[in-house]
């Protein structure tokens, strides 16, 4: 069946197809240019991928020899992280310390008695103290919830209040300090004190404090070398003194003994050497006088045996010269002092030392041979009482953290201690009677990760270069660690730059840098990567394992066992192997990482090879785009001309048909008329 022709709608001669066939031939040059531009875009993408791989290699190389290299990183290892932990900066030195946490820093937390759901707090001015700070606000009265909301707004990061339902239907009021340390006691005044007593947060008690004066009148016993100056008792080496406690203090659970003490070590030249005995005292010989003439008798003489100096006394070191004397005649020696010439503060729970006995004196028996001991500011007080009130249901009491480092006891108001070891921040977690060892050591994991990252980026770049410069599919098959999808993407660019000498030279330069020898000052026999377990064949059992062409392509392998052993025992030399200053100008100028960075630098620096390559491609792409734009205009004009010509042809044919039809109709009419 022939096609149906509709005038004005379809073409009688299918001119659209004829024009399209003619234009397809005309577009061939333009399509070639477009394919060339697409190929250039693909090549540009390959160069950009190479540039990214090179940048990754440079970054991982520079990390290993820059100022922030991981070889200077330090970590703190704790033998018991539940007791104490630490973090270290790069300034910390490698060391090992013994710690014992006697107590952690805490804040006051007070809980009231159970209160009813309908309990209301009266209007008034409520004032709370936290150390030397005061928080005061006016409350217009309301429920427990209203009061806690107001206190929390005013307390912010210092005081917090909440309700705790200890018994069903009877919430309790919890007020807690958010600042740790013995100096940051939580106190009440004004209406707050009345509220604390009324709700059972606190109770009124008599505040106990007794200062033990150190004066001449309070000295019961004093040997030679004892003096009092500026309210401080000083007992020289070998001396002793006893300070009376009047009236005597009956030990109770909450009482604390507090004092300040200092020691002064005397140099050997200040200790007088023993002198020979003076011998017997001989009376005068007398004289005789006659006729105004006096004759003196000769002095009597006593022959002395030769004197042999006694051996020097045995040096005595005793840092426990203080003791408490009790009314029953017994004594208790206090814990050792810190050997420092600056006055240090000491606090002890009196009940732990005295039991239930009554203290009558403080004795200082200094049997040291070369150390003077001083004592001042002695007092006994109840730290739980503040302003005449004491917490009735304390959940915790404000106290300092007490940490013993290598036998030295230190106190801090917080559990975070950053000023004890330079470059190390300690965190006390929980008390412990057992010593915990903290070791500041190099961060070997970070160093190992940095080395592995360098090797990984090196191998990934080397694989990219091998794929681009070689046409052998075995190169991709050797990359067994890649997923099939990744291998497929690489296969599409196989041999794309096989004739590019720049990439081949770069690949050879990287191999020389990775396999070269570099001097190290820490160990003269360590100069190559293979000596720390990194190389092209470090995991082969031996030469008999056969020929493997993949090992000739420059990929590096890591023997982790050898690397771990080297990091443990040869760390300074390994640091210099990757980057070292050979001329003392504080600038790294040698090492594997430095050499890899230098080899990669010309490619990715500003105006480098990658930039030039992509710039040239961009220029060629721009030229092709301009040519395509010109051809597009020419093709559009050509297509318009063909459409015009074929349109005119169809118009002429249509007019001829119309004339033929008219002639036929005229002829028919004539024949009809003749009949």
Please tell me the predicted confidence (pLDDT) of residue 2: 45
DSSP state of 75: E
Q: How confident is the model at residue 547 (pLDDT cuts 50, 70, 90)?
A: very low
Answer for the pair 415, 85: CB distance below 8 angstroms, yes or no.
no
Please give the Cα distance from 187 to 548 (Å, whole number).
Answer: 80
3-state secondary structure of 523: coil
Q: Answer whether 390's CB lies under 8 Å from 252's CB.
A: no
Q: Higher model confidence: residue 427 or residue 549?
A: 427
**Contacts with 313 (C-beta within 8 Å, 6 or more apart), sequence order:** 369
* Torsion angle of the four alpha carbons 621, 623, 626, 631, in this order, in degrees rounded to the nearest 10: -100
Contact (CB, 8 A) for 234 and 423: no
pLDDT at 550: 57
Q: Is the pLDDT of residue 193 over 80?
A: yes
Tens of pLDDT, residue by residue over 620-669, are: 999 999 999 998 999 899 888 888 888 888 788 888 888 888 888 888 88
Predicted confidence at residue 480, as pLDDT, reads 78
3-state secondary structure of 34: helix
pLDDT of residue 13: 65
List phi, psi (to 5°) of 66. -80, 180
In this prediction, residue 12 carries a pLDDT of 63
- Report the run of H or E that residue 410 belongs to, with start and end: strand 408-412
State the pLDDT at residue 549.
55
Q: What is the pLDDT averaged over residues 574-580? A: 94
Q: How high is the mean pLDDT of the chain?
A: 87
Query: What angle do helix axes 560-569 and 444-469 make, rounded to 10 degrees?
Result: 140
Run of H or E residues at 210: strand 209-212
The runs of H, that is alpha helices, within 295-442 are 350-354
Q: If residue 261 lies in a helix (H) or strand (E), which one and from where to where? A: strand 256-265
Q: What is the pLDDT of residue 221?
A: 80
Q: Which of the pair, 208 or 607, is modelled with greater confidence?
A: 607
Tokens standing for residue 436: 């915990």
Span 99-132, pLDDT tens digits: 999 999 999 999 999 998 889 999 999 999 998 8
User: Could you give the angle at the alpha carbon of 242 between the alpha carbons of 236 and 248, nearest 5°?
Assistant: 150
548 band by pLDDT with thresholds 50, 70 and 90: low
C-alpha count within 13 angstroms, C-beta hemisphere, residue 276: 8
Contact by Cβ (8 Å): 640, 647? no
Q: Tell me: cis bond preceding 247? Omega within 30 of 0 counts.
A: yes
Residues 575, 579: Cα–Cα separation, whole Å: 6
pLDDT of res. 1 = 40
Looking at residue 551, its pLDDT comes to 60
Please state, in angstroms and rounded to a whole number, the distance separating the CA atoms of residues 443 and 575.
13
């Amino acid at each position: 069946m022939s096609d149906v022709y509709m005038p004005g709608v379809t073409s009688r001669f299918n001119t659209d197809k004829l024009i399209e066939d003619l234009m397809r031939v005309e577009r061939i040059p333009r399509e070639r240019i477009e394919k060339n531009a697409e190929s250039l875009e693909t090549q540009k993408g390959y160069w950009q991928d190479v540039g990214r791989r090179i940048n990754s290699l440079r970054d991982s190389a520079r990390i290993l020899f820059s100022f922030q290299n991981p070889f200077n990183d330090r970590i703190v290892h704790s033998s018991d992280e539940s007791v104490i932990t630490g973090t270290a900066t790069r300034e910390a030195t490698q060391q090992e310390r013994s710690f014992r946490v006697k107590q952690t820093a805490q804040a006051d937390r007070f809980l009231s008695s159970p209160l009813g759901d309908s309990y209301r707090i009266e209007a008034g001015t409520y004032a709370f103290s936290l150390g030397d700070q005061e928080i005061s606000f006016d409350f217009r009265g309301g429920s427990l919830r209203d009061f806690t909301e107001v206190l929390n707004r005013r307390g912010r990061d210092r005081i917090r209040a909440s309700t705790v339902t200890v018994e069903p239907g009877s919430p309790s009021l919890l007020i807690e300090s958010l600042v740790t340390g013995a100096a940051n006691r939580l106190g009440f005044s004004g209406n707050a004190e009345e509220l604390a007593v009324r709700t059972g947060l606190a109770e009124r008690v008599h505040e106990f404090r007794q200062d033990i004066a150190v004066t001449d009148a309070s000295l019961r016993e004093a040997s030679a070398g004892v003096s009092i100056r500026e309210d401080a008792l000083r007992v020289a080496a070998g001396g002793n003194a006893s300070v009376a406690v009047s009236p005597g203090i009956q030990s109770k659970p909450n009482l604390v003994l507090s004092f300040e003490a200092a020691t002064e070590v005397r140099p050997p030249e200040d200790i007088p050497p023993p002198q020979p005995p003076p011998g017997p005292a001989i009376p005068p010989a007398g004289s005789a006088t006659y006729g105004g003439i006096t004759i003196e008798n000769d002095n009597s003489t006593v022959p002395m045996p030769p004197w042999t100096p006694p051996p020097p006394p045995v040096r005595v070191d005793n840092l426990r010269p203080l003791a408490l004397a009790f009314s029953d005649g017994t004594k208790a020696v206090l814990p050792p002092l810190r050997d420092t010439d600056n006055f240090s503060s000491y606090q002890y729970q009196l009940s732990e030392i005295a039991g239930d006995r009554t203290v009558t004196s403080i004795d200082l028996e200094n049997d040291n041979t070369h150390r003077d001991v001083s004592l001042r500011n002695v007092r006994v007080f109840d730290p739980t009482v503040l302003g005449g009130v004491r917490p009735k249901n304390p959940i915790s009491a404000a106290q300092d953290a007490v940490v013993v480092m290598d036998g030295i006891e230190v106190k801090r108001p917080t559990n975070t201690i950053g000023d004890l070891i330079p470059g190390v921040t300690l965190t006390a977690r929980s008390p412990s009677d057992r010593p915990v060892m903290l070791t500041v050591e190099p961060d070997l994991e970070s160093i190992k990760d940095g080395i592995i990252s360098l090797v990984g980026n090196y191998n990934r770049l080397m694989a990219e270069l091998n794929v681009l410069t070689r046409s052998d599919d075995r190169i991709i098959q050797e990359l067994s660690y890649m997923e099939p999808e990744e291998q497929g993407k690489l296969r599409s660019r196989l041999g794309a730059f096989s004739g590019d000498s720049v990439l081949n030279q770069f690949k050879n330069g990287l191999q020389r840098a990775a396999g070269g020898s570099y001097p190290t000052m820490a160990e003269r026999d360590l100069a190559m990567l293979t000596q720390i377990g990194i190389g092209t064949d470090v995991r082969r059992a031996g030469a008999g394992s056969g020929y493997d062409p993949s090992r000739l392509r420059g990929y590096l392998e890591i023997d982790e066992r050898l690397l771990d052993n080297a990091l443990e025992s040869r760390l300074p030399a390994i640091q210099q192997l990757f980057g070292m200053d050979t001329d003392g100008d504080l600038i790294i100028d040698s090492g594997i990482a430095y050499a890899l960075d230098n080899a990669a630098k010309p490619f990715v620096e500003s105006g480098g090879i990658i930039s030039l390559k992509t710039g040239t491609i961009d220029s060629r792409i721009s030229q092709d785009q301009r040519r395509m734009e010109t051809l597009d205009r020419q093709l559009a004009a050509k297509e318009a001309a063909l459409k015009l010509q074929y349109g005119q042809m169809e118009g002429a044919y249509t007019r001829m048909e119309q004339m033929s039809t008219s002639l036929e109709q005229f002829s028919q009419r004539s024949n009809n008329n003749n009949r």
